[in-house]
């Protein structure tokens, strides 16, 4: 349930951050929020696709933790490699 709730909240916040990004695309805080929310929403969506393929129930919690951890790792890697 938490994964569903976090993914929906990320989707709503992503719409707000996209609007803020369109107003001023060069604000670093907006760029960071856009990257973090897109990674979180996308990886939780991949988790949902994997669960729809019929994985056992015991994998649900591990896939949720893996999606969150991978989101954080990818954010740190991409944000530290930014070109400006």
pLDDT band (50, 70, 90) for residue 84: low
pLDDT digits (tens, 9 = 90+) for 21-73: 999 999 999 999 999 999 999 999 999 999 999 999 899 999 999 999 999 99
Domains in the chain: boundaries? 2-80
Could you give the CA distance from residue 23 to residue 74 in angstroms, rounded to a whole number? 26
| Tokens at 48, concatenated | 């949902």
| pLDDT at residue 18 in the model | 97
pTM for the full predicted model: 0.89
What is the pLDDT, as a whole number, of residue 22?
96
Q: Is the pLDDT of residue 82 over 90?
A: no
Dihedral over Cα of 69, 74, 75, 79: its sign: positive
Decide if 74 contacts 39 (C-beta within 8 A). yes
């Amino acid at each position: 349930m938490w994964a569903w709730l976090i993914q929906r909240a990320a989707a709503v916040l992503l719409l707000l951050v996209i609007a803020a990004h369109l107003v001023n695309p060069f604000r670093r805080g907006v760029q960071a929020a856009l990257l973090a929310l897109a990674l979180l929403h996308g990886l939780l969506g991949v988790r949902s696709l994997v669960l729809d393929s019929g994985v056992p129930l015991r994998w649900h919690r591990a896939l949720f933790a893996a999606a969150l951890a991978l989101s954080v790792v990818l954010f740190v890697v991409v944000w530290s490699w930014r070109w400006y």
